[in-house]
Amino acid sequence: MLAFLTYFFFYPALGLLLSSIQTQDSRGIIGRPFTLAHYARLINVELYARVLWTTLRISIITSALATVLAYPVALVMVKSRPMATRIITLIVIAPLIVSVVVRGYGWQLVLQNGPKGMLNWILMTLHVVDAPISVLYTEVAVVIGSLHVFFPMMVLPLASALGKIDPNLEDAARMLGAPWWRVFLRVTLPLSMPGFVAGFTLVFSLTAGSFVIPAILGGASAVMLGNLIEQQIFVVYDWPFGAAIAVVLVGLVLAVNGVSMWLLEGRRLRRPD
C-alpha cells in the first residue's frame, strides 16, 4: 500500500512541486535556478489574480446554493416511505450516469443567448422579460452547470447524516412547543453538521478543480484555475507556471479539507459524553 501511494501520489506531487519552482529558458528547457516567481506572478498579475478570485467565488456560491437546495431534498428522502426514498435517490443520482460534457452542452442549449435559447424562450413567452437576457458565458452559467453536476455530492452526505438523527429528539422539541423552524435550527441542523461539512467540502473541491463546465458555459468571461492550467500547459507551454497554479489549487482544496476536519473534530471533542 505504501509503495502504491508513493508511486501514484507522493512521487507525482513531488514532481509537480519541483516543477513549480524551476525556471524555463527560451528553448523550453526546465531546470535551475529555483524560484518562487511563478507564485508571485499568480498573485501580482491582475489577470491571473482575477482567475483565482473567480474560482473562489464560484466555488463558494455553488457550495452555498447546493447546501440550501439539498437540505429539503435530503429531509424528504429521510422522512419518506422506503419506496419514495428509493425513487428520490434514483432521481438525484441519475444525472451521474450522463457525461459531464454532455450535460454541459445540454445547459449550453438551455442558456443560449438570444430568442432561440430555451430559457429566453420561456421567459419571453411568459412575458417575464421583453428582450432576451444574456446568461451563457457568464459566472451565473458556470454556477448553474456546476450546481447541476455536483448537487448529488451534497444531497447524499446530508441524507446519510439526517438518517442517523434520533427522531425522538425532534419529537421532544415539538412537544415542548418549538415551531418547525426552531426544531430545524436547534436540533436537526446541529446534528447534521457532519453531513453538511462533508457535502460542502466535496462540492467546493470539485467545483474549484472543475474544467469542463467553465470551458463550455463560462467562455472567456468565467475562466477558472483548471482552465488556466490547461492554457499554460498545452497552449503557452509554460510548464513551471502551470505547475505553480496546480500547486495553489491543490493547496486550496487541502486547506478547505483541513478546516472541515478541524471543525468536525472540534465538534466531536465538545460533545458531552
Tens digit of each residue's pLDDT, the chain (273 residues): 677 767 777 888 888 888 888 877 766 667 777 788 888 988 888 999 999 999 999 999 999 999 999 999 999 999 888 899 899 999 999 888 999 999 999 999 999 888 888 888 888 888 888 888 888 899 999 999 999 999 999 999 999 999 888 888 888 888 888 888 888 888 888 888 889 999 999 999 999 999 999 999 998 888 999 999 999 988 888 888 999 999 999 999 989 888 888 877 766 555 544
Give 221's contacts (C-beta < 8 A, 6+ positions apart): 137, 138, 139
Task: Answer whether residue 31 is part of any domain.
Answer: no
pLDDT number for residue 166: 86
Indicate whether 8 belongs to any domain.
Answer: no
Q: 187 lies in a domain?
A: yes
List the CATH number of the domain containing 246. Answer: 1.10.3720.10
With respect to residue 22, please indicate whether it lies within any of the assigned structural domains.
Answer: no
- Answer yes or no: are the C-beta atoms of 194 and 264 closer than 8 Å: yes
Within-domain flag for 3: no
Q: Considering the domain boundaries, does residue 142 fall inside one?
A: yes
pLDDT at residue 151, rounded to an integer = 94
How many domains in the chain? Answer: 1
pLDDT of residue 58: 96
| 266 domain-assigned | yes
51 within some domain: yes
Range of the domain at 112: 37-270
